[in-house]
Chains A and B, each alone.
Chain A
Amino acid sequence: MKIDHQKCVACGNCVAVCPMGAIYIDRSLNRATVNTDECVECYTCFRGMSMEHLNPTAVRAVRRLLHVFRLRFDPEPDVCPTSAIVPDELSWPRVIRRAFSDVTATHESTGVHGRGTEEVKTNDVTNRLGVGRIGLTVELGRPGIGVWFRDVQHVTRSLAAAGVTFEEKNPVTSLMADRERGDLNPEILNEKVMSVIIEFNTAVDDIGEILRLLRKVANEIPTIMALGISVRCDETGHSDLEDILTENDFEFLRAKTNIGIGRAELAATPSV
């Protein structure tokens, strides 16, 4: 993303809007400027801000006039008055930033928009996570913090060394050069995104060891790790996962519950 300096009037509205804090007012230019190292191409500024298309010269003149008379204008905080925010033409590997950070971008590898995957949200149709298995979504990065792929690789390598098999239909898995070792494509290691989700499943008996490993690895990377842990319920809707989480000192306040009313419509449905 870039700011058109011919149009920008340095109102500063876009500065607060950026989830990564990547936009700042360059005092030497008196224009908003994008820190391209920190920008993750989430398009929030371009898509989320309303636009006025005002003449930049006229806006600057009015602002100067108000300043002279020490008058303060209280503008709408989500508006770019001169439509100065312009998307860049993205090429590889920078384009990977948008793929993982812009919610409206659809991953070619999964067909799912944003950085997410279907997880257990469609498990009633796909049976992606079977009985006796526990699914894990390890999300790395948060708004304002983000994550570099070199740090993602640190986690994927640790998990691979512990013998996990990464979920096939997941954007991070699709970027692995060596899934056995957890190596990512080296071309993307110096790219930063808002967050990624590493996904795999494990046997119930192994979950304690995996959780201990994740606790350790979380402290070795300079970002946030948010864990989602999923399970397929039994025929009565019960799961033992809550007990397992409690035993491992994991608190949970919120969950996504698949209520089981989806069905496949193609003839070739997967085996249960």
Chain B
Amino acid sequence: MTHTLHRFGRRQDLTQDFIVTAMPARGFNDQNCVPKQKEFLRTALEYGPVNIGNAIKGAEHRATKDLRPTVHWHRDDAPDPEAVIEEVDRPTTVSAVFDDYEPMQAFVAKLVEMDLGLSVNISSVPDQAMKCCEECGVVRHSIEYSVGFRGATEKLPDDTTMELMTMCGHGMVSAAFARKMTDWVRSGRRTPEDATRYMARFCVCGSFNPARAEKILARAAEGK
């Protein structure tokens, strides 16, 4: 779904949702870009992202293919950022998600200083990215705006579900699953943290913002 562009939500929520990506251009700078992409991810970890990802291999939260039956009572679901970094083995899009402006801006300032040569994009509310560019001493090169949904919009789910499912830019978090998790949190079957981890595992590229998802679920549980 053009990756991170069409995230749905209220402005006050979207101002706490930043995705910084690094991408090589095919035929221009994609040779020998793997070490640079790993460096991007490793550096990102120093600034406390809420998620990192490699669009073709996976993110911090991921499915496990050899679970034991005890998983239903105790599940080792700690995020694994090192696996994300190690798995970068060919040109891809790598990303780091932040839920706060300051660490995101500090990370971008570091990227400018590192001069990796990869294209770096900030997906956010546009004026925040503009401010970040100014503070980092760079001039924004290009910008793509999301102007929302048109057509058969009556087929779209409710706002809470839209907020959750559009955080996976490729649509891998289904509306039914987002609704199910919202219902489970409302009914006390799971905490917002647990429900968020279930959803985050389906987002391969790592653009899902777990911190924002927890807030959305907690808000929904309170009936707001």
Note whether A and B form a binding pair.
yes
B-binding residues in A (CB < 8 A): 15-21, 42, 44, 47-54, 73-79, 103-104, 106, 110-114, 116, 118-126, 129, 135, 137, 139, 142-145, 194-195, 197, 214-215, 218-219, 221-233, 235-237, 239, 241-242, 245, 250-266, 269-270
Q: In the complex the two chains form, is A260's CB within 8 Å of B141's CB?
A: yes
Q: In the complex the two chains form, is B121's CB within 8 Å of A264's CB?
A: no
Q: In the complex the two chains form, is B63's CB within 8 Å of A255's CB?
A: no
Chain B residues contacting A214 (CB-CB under 8 Å) are: 150
List, sorted by A's number, 27 A–B pairs whose CB atoms are closer than 8 Å: A16-B174, A19-B174, A20-B174, A48-B204, A52-B67, A74-B189, A78-B63, A114-B205, A118-B26, A120-B143, A125-B25, A142-B155, A144-B176, A214-B150, A224-B151, A228-B2, A228-B147, A229-B144, A250-B148, A253-B146, A256-B123, A258-B120, A259-B112, A259-B136, A260-B142, A261-B118, A269-B28
Task: From the candidates B66, B117, B147, B204, name the one contacting A265 in the complex (CB within 8 A).
Answer: B117
B156 touches A (CB below 8 Å): yes
Chain B residues contacting A19 (CB-CB under 8 Å) are: 171-175
With known contacts A259-B108, A259-B136, A139–B2 Cβ distance under 8 A: yes
Chain B residues contacting A44 (CB-CB under 8 Å) are: 172, 174, 202
Closest Cβ of chain A: how far from B15's Cβ, in Å?
A: 10
Q: In the complex the two chains form, is A227's CB within 8 Å of B148's CB?
A: yes
Q: In the complex the two chains form, is A253's CB within 8 Å of B71's CB?
A: no
Closest Cβ of chain A: how far from B157's Cβ, in Å?
A: 7
Chain A residues contacting B180 (CB-CB under 8 Å) are: 16, 77
B212 touches A (CB below 8 Å): no
Q: In the complex the two chains form, is B69's CB within 8 Å of A54's CB?
A: yes
With known contacts A17-B174, A113-B92, A122-B24, A78–B201 Cβ distance under 8 A: yes
Q: Which of A42, A120, A226 counts the most chain B CB atoms within 10 A?
A: A226
Q: In the complex the two chains form, is B144's CB within 8 Å of A119's CB?
A: yes
Q: In the complex the two chains form, is B150's CB within 8 Å of A225's CB?
A: yes
Chain A residues contacting B5 (CB-CB under 8 Å) are: 226, 228, 254-256
Closest Cβ of chain B: how far from A269's Cβ, in Å?
A: 7
Q: In the complex the two chains form, is B55's CB within 8 Å of A221's CB?
A: no
- Give the dominant DSSP class at A's interface: loop
Q: In the complex the two chains form, is B140's CB within 8 Å of A258's CB?
A: yes
Chain B residues contacting A253 (CB-CB under 8 Å) are: 9, 11, 14, 125, 146, 148
A-binding residues in B (CB < 8 A): 1-7, 9, 11, 14, 21, 23-29, 31-32, 55-57, 63-69, 71-72, 75, 91-93, 108, 111-112, 115-126, 129-130, 132-134, 136, 138-153, 155-157, 165, 170-177, 179-181, 184, 189, 198, 201-202, 204-205
Ranked nearest first, the 4 interchain pairs of A and B with the lowest CB-CB distance are A260-B141, A262-B119, A230-B144, A143-B171
Q: Which of A51, A77, A245, A255 counts the most chain B CB atoms within 10 A?
A: A255
Q: In the complex the two chains form, is A228's CB within 8 Å of B138's CB?
A: no
With known contacts A129-B142, A224-B155, A232-B141, A259–B172 Cβ distance under 8 A: no
Q: In the complex the two chains form, is B150's CB within 8 Å of A257's CB?
A: no
Task: From the candidates B55, B64, B152, B189, name the one contacting A113 in the complex (CB within 8 A).
Answer: B55
Closest Cβ of chain A: how far from B91's Cβ, in Å?
A: 8
Q: In the complex the two chains form, is B201's CB within 8 Å of A125's CB?
A: no
The chain A residue sitting closest to B148, CB to CB, is A251
Q: How far is the CA of A251 from the CA of B21 in the complex (A)?
A: 24
The chain B residue sitting closest to A220, CB to CB, is B151
Q: How far is the CA of A103 from the CA of B125 in the complex (A)?
A: 24
Chain B residues contacting A242 (CB-CB under 8 Å) are: 126, 145
Q: In the complex the two chains form, is B146's CB within 8 Å of A226's CB?
A: yes
Task: From the candidates A48, A54, A120, A261, name the one contacting B120 in the complex (CB within 8 A).
Answer: A261
Q: How far is the CA of A196 from the CA of B205 in the complex (A)?
A: 18
